Amino acid sequence: MENIPSKLVERAVDELSKLPGIGRRTAMRLALHMLKQDEKDIEVLGQSLIDMRSNITYCRKCHNIADSELCKICSSHNRDHTTVCIVEDVRDVMAIENTSQYNGLYHVLGGIISPMEGIGPEDLTIEQLTRRVGEEDIRELIMALPTTIEGDTTNFYIYKQIKDTDVKVSTIAKGVSFGNDLEYADEVTLGRSIVNRTPYEDTS
């Protein structure tokens, strides 16, 4: 148990250690580092966090994080608006964007179907996705969900919802060596898995 001589520092360490991947030792280093910084810089840091939490919104079309009603991807005229990549969460959008191999739009589900965790289709943005398919000129949906039972279940559920439409459904190449989380994939491998996507009907 560390001996912190200041209740103020101890409180800061307590709060910082709540962040994912930040243990108390790292939190202590961060807190002590901030003590050495100009007070104005720390105020800017604190205000930026407050502004982010207070003002961030979600794109009304794809549910990606955004600063306004539409995210910068959905509002771009340079993107292919006929192709939509379906992902589990915002981190997957960032991972795919880093590959520079995809120029379409996205749809963020906000999770995957997981009965064990009490997450059903109604808890995700699947209904909004099917509405997009009916209202927009979408020609291809790319499934980019985790290669797990839950991910496969979600893929199949979505496929059943839109299988009677003219929309092509594909999935990113199987066998890519990045486990279940797209955010941990190396950019080259992830980029290739999108480029070499296959029709969903041919997957098993």
Residue 57: beta bridge partners?
66
- Using CA atoms, how far apart are residues 129 and 55, in angstroms rounded to an integer? 25
For tokens 């502004």, the residue is 51
Do both 36 and 80 map to the same domain? no
CATH of the domain at 45: 1.10.8.420
At 87, list the tokens: 């992902």
- Is residue 68, in this structure, part of any structural domain at all? no
- Is residue 60, in this structure, part of any structural domain at all? no
Reply yes or no on whether the pLDDT at 60 is more than 70: yes
Which helix (H) or strand (E) segment holds residue 83: the answer is strand 80-87
pLDDT, one tens digit per residue, over 148-202 is 899 999 999 999 999 899 999 999 876 544 334 555 556 666 777 777 787 787 4
CB atoms inside a 10 Å sphere around CB 154? 25
- Is residue 69, in this structure, part of any structural domain at all? no
Q: What type of residue is 144?
A: A
Do both 41 and 114 map to the same domain? no
Mean pLDDT of 23-44: 95
Q: Quote the mean pLDDT of the chain.
A: 88
pLDDT given at position 180:
46
pLDDT given at position 1:
46
- Is residue 161, in this structure, part of any structural domain at all? yes
Indicate the pTM of the whole model.
Answer: 0.81
Contact 122, 110 (CB under 8 A): no
Contact 144, 172 (CB under 8 A): yes
Overall number of domains in the chain: 2
